[in-house]
Copies of this chain bind each other. A is one copy, B any other.
Amino acid sequence: FVCFFLNIVNSCPATKPSMLNVHLVPHTHDDVGWLKTVDQYYYGGRNYIQHAGVQYILDSVVSELQKDPARRFIYVETAFFHRWWSEQSAKTRNIVTQLVQEGRLEFVNGGWCMSDEASTHYSAVIDQMTLGLRFLNDTFGECGRPRVAWHIDPFGHAREHASIFAQMGYDGFFFGRLDYQDKGRRMKMKEMEMVWRASESLKPPTADLFTGVLPNGYNPPAGFCWDQSCSDDPVQDDPELEDYNVDDLVNKFISISKAQADVYKTNHIIMTMGSDFQYENAIPWYKNMDKLIHYVNARQKNGSAVNVLYSTPSCYLQELNLAKQIWPIKTDDFFPYADDAHDFWTGYFTSRPALKRYERLSNSLLQTCNQLEVLGGSQSRDGPFGKGDRRAMAVAQHHDAVSGTEKQHVANDYAKRLGIGWDHCQVLVSNSLAALSGSNVPRVFCENLNISVCPLTEGSKRFSMNVYNPLARPISWSVHLPVNGSSYSVQDSNGMAVNSQVIPVSKATQNLRRGRGYAKNELVFQVQAPPLGFSTYSIILLGRAGAPDEPKRAAPVSMQNKYLKATFDPTTGLLSGLTNLETQQSIQLSQNFYWYNASNGNDESRQTSGAYIFRPNSSTPYTISSKPVVSTLQEVRQQFSPWVSQVVRLYEGSRELELEWTIGPVPVDDGLGKEVITRLDSSISSAEYFYTDSNGREVLQRRKDYRPTWDLKQTEPVAGNYYPMNSRAFIKDKGSQLTVVTDRSQGVSSLNNGSLEIMLHRRLLYDDYRGVGEPLSEPGEFGDGLVVRGRLLLTLTPPETAADAHRPLAQGMVLQPLLSFQDGTPSAIVEFSALQASLPPAVHLLTLSQWDKDSVLLRLEHQYESSESKTYSKPVTVNLQKMFSTLKVVGASEMSLGANQWKANMTRLQWNTGNDAHIYTLWLADNANTLQP
């Protein structure tokens, strides 16, 4: 076969230079889970919830495409496409392959799903994109490679996503949702299409991405929806017919086209002809578009200068590229998204906090498994781990998955899929560690350590603990093991005694675990693990007699180690100050918990708070307690109410203060929906500025009641100032920066000078009219409301060295050590590192994963921005040949970020943005290497 698509000019429809060319893009938007589960959507099960069956969409479209070579279709979600493909006959596969080769069926985006942009981490996003792109590459070769990124539905757009797409080789990006004020301005200024300069670090055009705002979200223009789910009248072209409407429809279409052309720059415009789960019956769509094209173009004989054609985003993009316009530049992002004055989509930054954490933890586990599959060799692969587990994580990136905007039963399904992935992954870890440690003693994983539950540690007199570290640098980590003894001996891999304490399990934890475990105490000690390897600790019960010290019912004045000192107000028991003992800098810092009363609509607007939308009734949140019950014992335990508590910890050797919060069940029997925040109020002169990361990577400056690209009319003083934080947020002044690193994606804002507030949990009583049709009121395991526990890490540093602390801290939070346990004595090999040495501090090992039998995919990343660290924001070199201790690299080839193209072959369309001459630091490029295990 000749791949016509390679020569895109050949497969694109002819256009007319002297006319307005209207590119009709037939498409379907298939959520990989939302109101129904991904399985239900694929098969069309439970259609009483929502009529949607993706299998039929692909059946029907393929059937209709064959009927006319002019017809086009694009497909987006590889999660669905690969499944459909697996059920097709050789004959159908041949037909589809030819349609792809001829550019009649075009893949756009092409990831496993269309990921959420506010609550995802770049690590998982790159993985899910890679999974989808690889399937397309394996199946269709170069013809299957998407040229265009397509995020028509996500509720706001992250700059890091744009950067990723650029580095994956996409030529352009289209989306549907942006702030209504922004859209108004862009239409007026003809800035609906632009070049998004998506990184302050990468040299243009490396992270430049041509970006277009679609005219009607992702829907067809009003009156031209011919899906079975629509009720617009078809083209009724029998002149004998009473309802003959050709003249009316053509007039209306031409008028809409001209109005649209008025807000775009060129004589080409795009129309998205489709919507959610449309084309289950492709016949009405194509039949009526065929007629529309025929009748509109027939007017050309009478002087009409409107030319309609079937097209695709690539073909439209190509025409824009040929138009040789100068395009405006965009450098910030598209958060927050508001579709009306009181309708800010900032609630979902926090919605379903437990799912958000489970997704993040699952990613950590998946990366560990991917690494151990490589490191453990063939023995590690003897189990169920594999595609299914990567797919579960990939599906969880969907913009109605980790976003928390799905129905409860669907959220349960995502969690279940991840849970199955955990089971499979644990088999692999066992196999791999058996190979690497030489011990086949059964290995136990304790998933509930966060609520002090682990039957083995609770009951065993002698056990060993393997600490696997997925980072490419050594780590130190504080471990809390549930135990029932009162004293233990802990030895490290070298047989050296490790200092440990036994402290009683807190009341808050006992209440929270509700009979799921019976440990009285926690054994606390610090562990170390080598880069990309493990160390083993041996724990022996010394005595059961004697209870540990009970916590003292009194607020401490302070807690400190050699790096940090936290002070507390002795009257209220609240945090009152933080001092960096190394730099001798000190700030006042109070912290407390509050809740906003969720709006259930008012006279100004009927908008409620819901899964998507955050809208507080009042800008002043309610204080839960101004004087918590406080007790102290190594750690400070604060009880704010029966449903809010916190433990403040400062570990020896740590430069960060840990706040472990526990919230829930949030009471709603008072009829008030609650959106619970914690707020840090400090003496830092941050004025109106604060900073948040983008998908856990680069950091963007935020300013209260302000948007960089338009003159904001602020209508929601709280919700309109919320932004997503994926890994970190901070405030700073000249001397000090207070950085908060978190364990999951959340909403964050700074509404006052020196203040930073983070939304932790939401329990609401109303749906917010964006389709999910359920109030966000998670029942939890016991049905009375979900309890969530999480951690925030606080650092206080000078601004110029802040990144040196928060970069490794955040990576450690994302890829955390995996603990596994064996009863009895430790294995023969107690320590292992796959690296010859730690990678340089600036280098993060993002991906190490088996690609096929003879090769692995390696991604190395420079984890500092170009100017955030004096020490680390510099080019750095890694010698791949000398990197691994147990793997021999016999060859390596650099690929695009999505691993579906050789880097050398990557050519992208060039766009003129006028003059710009900044200097950028080149990051270490991503690498794919062929390695021999």
Contacts and interface: CB of A to CB of B under 8 A. Distances in A.
A413 B228 CA distance: 25
A281 B56 contact: yes
A47 interface: yes
Given A39-B241, A242-B37, A46 B284 contact: no
Given A243-B39, A413-B242, A45 B287 contact: no
A44 interface: yes
Contacts of A228: 51, 228, 280-281
The interface centre, meaning the residue of A43, A46, A53, A413 with most chain B CB atoms within 10 A of its CB, is A43
A588 interface: no
Nearest to A420: B242
A53 B231 contact: no
Interface in A269-316: 280-281, 283-284, 287
Contacts of A388: 240
Interface string A20-60: 00000000000000000101100111111001010110011
A45 B243 contact: yes
Nearest to A44: B234
A881 interface: no
A284 to B, nearest CB: 5
A43 B280 contact: no
A700 B241 CA distance: 42
Contacts of A233: 43, 45-47
Given A48-B231, A233-B45, A53 B241 contact: no
A331 interface: no
A236 interface: yes
Given A39-B242, A281-B228, A281-B280, A287 B56 contact: yes
B234 A53 contact: yes
Interface string A223-237: 000001011111010
A518 to B, nearest CB: 33
A523 to B, nearest CB: 39
B43 A241 contact: yes
B280 A56 contact: no
A661 B287 CA distance: 52
A238 B241 CA distance: 46
A63 interface: yes
Interface residues of A, number: 38
A924 to B, nearest CB: 39
Contacts of A47: 230-233
Contacts of A48: 231
A829 B851 CA distance: 99
A408 B243 CA distance: 17
Contacts of A45: 233-234, 236, 243
A594 B458 CA distance: 89
Contacts of A232: 47
The interface centre, meaning the residue of A46, A48, A241, A284 with most chain B CB atoms within 10 A of its CB, is A284
A236 B46 contact: no
A46 B231 contact: yes
Contacts of A413: 242
Q: Assembly of this chain: how many copies?
A: 2
Interface in A191-240: 228, 230-234, 236, 238, 240
Contact of A284 (B37, B44, B87): B44
Contacts of A230: 47
A779 B664 CA distance: 61
A420 to B, nearest CB: 10
Nearest to A241: B39
Nearest to A86: B238
A284 B53 contact: yes
A56 B48 CA distance: 23
A78 to B, nearest CB: 17
Interface string A84-98: 000100000000000
Interface in A386-401: 388
A403 B43 CA distance: 41
A357 to B, nearest CB: 23
A388 B242 CA distance: 13
Contacts of A43: 233-234, 236, 238, 241, 243
A40 B243 contact: yes
Contacts of A59: 283, 287
A40 B48 CA distance: 26
Interface string A432-469: 00000000000000000000000000000000000000
The interface centre, meaning the residue of A37, A87, A281 with most chain B CB atoms within 10 A of its CB, is A281
A51 B280 CA distance: 14
A234 to B, nearest CB: 5
A806 B388 CA distance: 81
Contacts of A55: 234, 287
Nearest to A233: B45
A241 B280 CA distance: 21
Contacts of A284: 44, 53, 56, 280
A293 B447 CA distance: 46
Interface in A361-397: 388
A14 to B, nearest CB: 24
Interface in A231-260: 231-234, 236, 238, 240-243
Contacts of A51: 228, 231
A609 B48 CA distance: 31
16 contacts: A37-B242, A39-B241, A43-B233, A43-B243, A45-B236, A46-B233, A47-B231, A51-B228, A51-B231, A53-B284, A56-B281, A60-B281, A63-B283, A87-B238, A240-B388, A242-B416
Across the A-B interface, give the 10 residue pairs with the lowest CB-CB distance, nearest first.
A281-B281, A48-B231, A47-B231, A45-B233, A43-B236, A59-B283, A56-B283, A43-B234, A45-B243, A44-B234
Given A37-B242, A47-B232, 4 more contacts: A43-B233, A43-B236, A46-B233, A51-B228
Interface of A: 37, 39-40, 43-48, 51, 53, 55-56, 59-60, 63, 83, 87, 228, 230-234, 236, 238, 240-243, 280-281, 283-284, 287, 388, 413, 416
